[in-house]
Each structure stands twice: as C-alpha cells, then as structure tokens.
Structure 1
C-alpha cells in the first residue's frame, strides 16, 4: 500500500516537473573534476570570484533641450560650427553635443543662433550609448578577452553618463590598454586579379557619420565619412592609377580592420566619373537595402571608427580583484549559503518539531537554488556577489512561503480532510502569488535600470519568485499532503 502511494506521488505532474528540472539543472551545471583533480562546473564567475579588472568611463558630452525660431537643421549645423564639435539631433527638441561644456557656457551659443537652452543633462543619447557599447564589445572580442561585460549606465531621462567595462582574467594595465587601443583601419584598391595595394590608413578619415540612406535616393543604406585634403588627394590618385575610375567592377575598394576585410565594393559610376577630374573629401559606403543593409551599415560605422569612440571619455573609476581575493570571496559565499540553509532548517525544526515536515521544506528550498543555478549556467549569466545575495534572498523568501502553505493546511493543528485540504492549499497559493507579484513589481525597476552591479540581484530574485510559484510551491503542496495524511 505504501509503495503504491509513493509511486502515485512521484507520478504526480507537479512532483514530476520538479524532478525533471532538478536533473536538467545538474546536467547544465555539470559538476566534474578537471585535469588537476579540482572540482569545477559550467557556472560562469564574474570579477568578484576571479582575477580581473573593471573600468568605469564618463562621457565628455551632454544632451541639451532647446527651442528655436530657425529651421532645426540650420540651427544644428550652425551650432556645430560655433562649438567646433559634432552636434547630433536626438529628436525635435534635443541635441547631443559631443564635447564637454557646462550649461552657462552653452547658453550664449544657443542665443546667438536664435535658440534657447531649455534643459541640460551630462551624458549621451541612447543611440550613441548603444554604438559605444558595440564598439567596446567588438574591441574586447578582437583582443580575445573572455568573460567581459560592457554595461551602459542610463538614468531615468534616457541619458547615459557612464559605461562600465568588466574583464575577468585581465589586470589593470592590460584593461586600460585594451580600452584605449585603436585598431588599424586601412583602405586598399584592387589592381590585377585578387591583388590589392595600399591607399590610406584610418588617420586620413576625419569624421564618420551615423548610418543613413543614400543621398542619391536609391534607398540603400550606408555610412558617409570624410577624408582629409591630403587623404582625398591620395585616394583620387590611387583610384586613377589602379583603373578603378575607368573599370570600377574589376577594381573594387576594400576596407580592412586589423587585416580583416570588413567591406568590399566598386566605386559608384558617379564617384568614378568625378574622381577623373577632381578630389572629393565626402564619401559614402553603400551597404544595401532593407534591414540587412541597415545592420551592415551599423557594423561598418563601428569599423570605420577603428575602435575609436564617437565621444571623448575619462576614467571615472577603476578597480581590480586578485585571484586569491576572488577565491576567498567564493569560499565565504559558499559558507554563507550553507549556513543560511542550516539556520533555516533549525528555525523550521524549532517551529514544527517534526522531521517529516522540516526535511521536505529544506529539500524543496535547496532544490529551488539548484534550479536557479541551472538556469544561470544555461544562460551563461556571470555569478558575482549581488547574484549570490539574490540566491540567499530566494532562500529566505522561499521558506517563508512554504511556512504559509504548512500553517494554512495545519490550521488549529488539525490535519484536514482532502476537500478541506485542497481549499486551504488553494488559499495559501493565492496568498503566495500575490506576495510574488509584489516582489516582481518591486524588483522590476532595479532589473531594468542600468545599475550594473545590482542587476544580478534583481534578476535572480525575480527568477526565484517565478520558479517558486510555478514549480516548487505546487510540488511542495502535493508532497506535504502525502506526509500529513500519514
């Protein structure tokens, strides 16, 4: 009879889902011994648990709100000339000024061009922040740096003032060199067959525009860029001597970043004809139409900049973690997690004095942490101190909810009939779902805001709430019913 009840318990879909997730989590974590007989897993660790460095950069730019009686395009162009820097139109009433000015310095320039400065926020727009993030990620990946994270820190107004770069396994000198190094950009022209010859390097490119559609009206996407006068002369001479102006199709221009071809295309017929008689400093590299053309244009913009950021930055903070300190943090977090589980078990035992109730509660709590670790391993989320804090918080809130279920079922210390049991369990799960929704709402701003060091805490807490409500609480309700029936 008992074996049949155990078989029935483990065939229940709620318990079965829990068991399957536990098995899958163990497979995802994959605890095993490496070649040095050290126990290792698939979990990824951040700077808190291994050697590495972090650098926080501050943007020397500002987003300014304005009003003007002049045409907006004319106003922006004149402002850019007056300030001697790039001024990018963010929307109809805001511009991004890619140079460090304070509010009092900018006001006279706006007034002289028929405008009024309405608002001022240090930082860059979200579009420029995305570009900066892509440039840094591409630069870090090109250097072969693993376990690197680039997080832009954006305020409520959508203006990004800082970017934080974390690189595991890299010391501070290496980190500063990687961030500060600019790639070697080169333009070459095809001569005969597949042979090419050098035309100019990236230092001849004076400015790079944002991706846009062709000014010729073809609808193709591309990136406009400007050559210096000397660079334009060299470009014209190379185009003529190679035959690119006469036979563009057989004399393509190739753009290379660190000796890797990133763009190759012939001169347009209009440009080829123009270069026969005059130099041109304004060029447009077409990448095609549609979404694919737009995405390629975005990548080409990054490569034309050769790793150079569109705005100047300064180091606002930096730090590093030694290998021994990271190992110490890891050991302390492991001990803290074990102690938290033991203390939870002790408090629960003191309350109920019944091992058959305490043991399932602790095991369900531990299984929840195991499932979360499995998710972390699958999505390659880096473990750091806030993440561990989130796991411990899940441990505490999880046991609270199990207590709610147990107390609701054991109302007045009496084991209820099956029908009454189901009603009480349903009431307990409703209370838990309301509490879980409250936690999700409270954690959501923390997860969405670019507070890079706290994002892990919020995400893990939210994941724990979802796993608890969907998987572990229903399974516990079924298990505790079987135990109490005895």
Structure 2
C-alpha cells in the first residue's frame, strides 16, 4: 500500500516537473573538481567574487532643448561650425552637442544663430548611448576579455550620462588601457616637411581585425582594417593629391589619437601602385616583426577601435576587487545562505513540531535555489552580491508561501477530507498567485531601469517567484496532501 502511494506520488506530473528541473539544473551547474582538486561549477562570477575592475565613464556632451526662427538644418549646420563639434538633431526639439559646454556657455552661440536654449541635460541621447555600448562591447570582446559587462546609466528623461564597464580578471591598469582612454581617431598624410593634411576620421573605419602577420608573407606583424566606400574614395583622392602614391617615402601616413601620433609609416609600394587606379577598402598597418612588432600591433588595435567612439569621455569613477577579497565574499555568502536555510528550518519546526511537514518544506525551499542556480548557469548570468541577496530573498518569500499552503490546509488543526483539501489548496494557491503578482510588479522597475547593481537582485527575485508559482508550490501541495493523508 505504501509503495503504491509513493509510486502515485512520483508519477504525478507536478512532482515529475520538479524532479526533471532539479536534474537539469544540477547538470547545468555541473559541480566537479578541477585539475587542482578544487570544487568548481559552471556558474559565472562577477567582480564581487573574483579579481577584476570596474570603470564608470562620463560622456562629455549634452542634450539641449531649443527653439529657432531659422530652418533647423541651417541652424544645426551653423551651430556645429561655431561650436567646433558635431551637433546631432535628436528630435524636433532637442539637439545633442558632442562637446562639453555649460548652459551659460551655450546660450550666446544659440543667440548668435537666432536660437534659444530651452532645456539642458548633460549626457547623450539613447541612440548614441546604444552605439557607444555596442562599440565598447565589440572592443572588449576583441581583446579577449572574459566576463565583461557594459551598462549605460540612463535617466527617466532618456538622456544617458554615464556608462559602467565591469571586467572580471582584469587589473585596473589594463582596464583603463582598454576603455579608460577613449578619444577621436584621425588619419593624416604628410605633405611637405613636417606638415600634414587631414584625410579621415575614425568613423570611416568600419571594422578592425585582430593583430596578425602580414598576408604578403614578410613575417611582419600588423593590424588590418576596413574603410567604408566613401572613406576609401577619400583616402585614394588624398593619396594621389598629396603625392603619397608616387613618392611614398616622403608622404607618410600618420594616425593620431587625441592629436597624439600612434602610428606613422609610408604606404607600401603595392598599395601606392593600386591606389593610382582604384580605391581600396582593405588596409594593413604594419608594425614590425618579432615580439615587439606583435605588442605594437596589439596597442594599435586598441587605438584603432578607440577612434570609433562618437563622443569624448572622462573617467568618473573606478574600483577593483582583489582575488583574496572576492574569495572572502564568496565564503561569507555561502555561509549566509546555509545559515538562512537552517534558521528557516528551525522556525518552521518550532511552529509545526512535525518533521514530516518540516522536511518537505525545507527541501522544496532548497530546490528552488538549485533550479534558480541552474537557470543562472544556462543564461550565463554573473553572480554578484545583489544576486545572492535575491537568492536569500527567494528563501524567505518561498517559505512564506509554503506556510500559507500548510496553514490553509490545516485550518483549525484538522486534516480535511480530499474534497475540502482541494478547495483549501486552490484558495491558498490563489493567495500565493496574487502575492507573487505584487512582487513581480514591485521588482519590474528595478529590472528594467539602468540600475546595474540592482538588476541582479530584481531578476533573481522575479525568477524565484515565477518558478515557485509554476513548479514548486503545486508540487508541494501534492506532496503535503500525501503526507497529511496518513
């Protein structure tokens, strides 16, 4: 008889779903011993739990509301010339000025062009912020940096003033080299003596390859990069006009980052000859042979990619976590989680004084954490302190809902008949669904807003609530029914 009841219990679809998800979660987490004999998993850890650095960059630009009596296109073009920077129209009433000015400094320029400053907000538009974020992500990924996060911090008005970059396993000096010194990239050609003429800006470079040895077979290291079709035509015209195709040695190509030379070399004979007849979009900047040439190629790659940022930035804040401190945080969080589970078990036992009720509640509660960790592992979500806080919050809210189910079923201390049991379980689940909905609504703003340090907490709390309502609460209802029927 008992074997039949156990068989019926484990063949119930609610319990089966819970078991399957638990097994899949353990597989996703994959606890195992590494080559050094240390227990490890597939979980990804953020800066709180391992060595790394973070940098917060501030955009040196502003979004300005305006009015003008002139045609908008004419007004924007004249304003861009007088301010000596790019001015981009965001919408019918706002401009993005890609240079740092105060509102008082801007007003005379606007008045001179028959315009007025209506509103002023430091930062950039959402469109430009998305572009900057993508550029930084591409650049960091190209450098082989693992576990990096780039988050823009946008206000309710849609203006982005900061971008935060977190890089696990990267020290502060390397982090600043990768993202902290952004600037405007320019290519110039030598004319006579030390005089040079502008050819292209970095926005004409559409892609940059990783450092490699010359395709010509010389063994020299360098970086290949691609120009847009307009950029290639402009480059060909400049090379012919200034004599770089006929006398490459006296008309070197110079690359500058923030007006500082980062590369200077003549065109190769092959490139000079081909430019006489047609433009080329594929270029290769040679940096020399050996280890030195390879290192220079790596640095040049960073500088080529740095030129793609549309606005200047300053470092507004930075910080780092040492390996020992990260390990300490991880140990403390593990202890906190275990203590939380033990305290929950103690309180539940004190309330019900019945191990057959307490044990399933604690196991169901722990199973939620395992399933959540499996979910985190699958989506490669980085574990940090707010994420752990979310897991502990799920422990608390989860046990609350299990208590609601148990108390509703044991109303007046009596074990109900099957029909009454089902009615009480349905009533308890209705209460739980309503409570879960309020938690989801409360957490949604934190998950959607650009509060990068709180997103982990909100997302994990929401996922815990969803898993509880769809999986663990129905399974517990079935399990507790079998226990109480004894």
**Shared fold, TM over 0.5:** yes
Q: Secondary structure at the match of 1:100?
A: coil
* Deviation digits for residues 266-303 of structure 1 (CA, Å, limit 9, x no counterpart): xxxxxxxxxxxxxxxxxxxxxxxxxxxxxxxxxxxx99
The equivalent of 1:232 in structure 2 is 238
Q: Which moved more, 1:142-151 or 1:373-382?
A: 142-151
Match of 1:254 in 2: 282
Q: Cα distance 1:159–1:349, how it changes in 2: closer, same or farther (>3 A)?
A: same
Q: Secondary structure at the match of 2:149?
A: strand
User: What is residue 42 of structure 2 aligned with on the other side?
Assistant: 42
Residues 200-254 of structure 1: CA deviation (Å, up to 9, x unaligned): x99842363799xxxxxxxxxx7865999998245775679635564x4xx7431
Q: Distance in 2 between matches of 1:257 and 1:125?
A: 34
Aligned mates of 1:58, 1:306 — CA distance in 2: 15
Match of 2:460 in 1: 460
Unaligned runs of 5+ in 1: 188-200, 212-221, 260-301
**Aligned alpha-carbon RMSD (Å):** 3.0
Report the counterpart of residue 469 of structure 1 in structure 2: 469
Determine the C-alpha separation between the residues in 2 that align with 1:11 and 1:202.
79
Corresponding residue of 2:83:
83
SS in 2 for 1:442: helix
What's 2:200 paired with? 205
SS in 2 for 1:319: strand
Q: CA deviation at 1:111?
A: 2.0
Q: What is the CA–CA distance in structure 1 between the aligned matches of 2:82 and 2:182, rounded to whole Å?
A: 29
* Bigger mean CA offset, 335-344 vs 229-238: 229-238
Q: Which residue of 2 aligns with 1:5?
A: 5
Change in Cα spacing, 1:123 to 1:12, as seen in structure 2 (3 Å) is same
Shift of 1:114: 1.8
Show the counterpart of 2:480. Answer: 480
2: CA distance between counterparts of 1:414 and 1:485? 11
- Write the distance in 1 (CA, Å) between the matches of 2:197 and 2:364: 60
For residues 207 and 321 of structure 1, what CA distance do their matches in structure 2 show? 34
Q: Which residue of 2 aligns with 1:121?
A: 121
| Aligned match of 2:355 | 355
Question: How far did residue 95 of structure 1 move?
Answer: 0.8
1:121–1:340: structure 2 CA closer, same or farther, 3 Å change rule?
same
Distance 1:176 1:235 in 2: 39
Q: Give distance in 1, aligned partners of 2:63 and 2:337.
A: 45
Q: Is the 8 A contact 1:394 1:465 kept in 2?
A: yes
Q: Tell me the residue number matched to 2:451.
A: 451
**Cα offset for 1:181?**
6.0
> Which residue of structure 2 aligns with residue 95 of structure 1?
95
Q: In structure 2, list runs of 5 or more residues that go unmatched.
A: 188-195, 207-227, 247-271, 288-301
SS at match of 1:380: coil
- Aligned-pair distance for 1:364? 0.3
Paired position in structure 2 for 1:57? 57
| TM-score, length of structure 2 as denominator length | 0.80
Alignment-derived partner of residue 174 in structure 2: 174
1:381 aligns with 2:387: no
Shift in CA distance, 307/472, structure 1 to aligned 2, threshold 3 Å: farther
Q: After alignment, is 429-438 or 66-75 more displaced?
A: 66-75
Report if the CA contact (8 A) 1:185-1:256 is conserved: no
Aligned-residue offset at 1:118: 1.5
Answer yes or no: is the 8 Å Cα contact 1:46–1:147 preserved in 2.
yes
Counterpart Cα distance in 1 of 2:410 and 2:303:
66
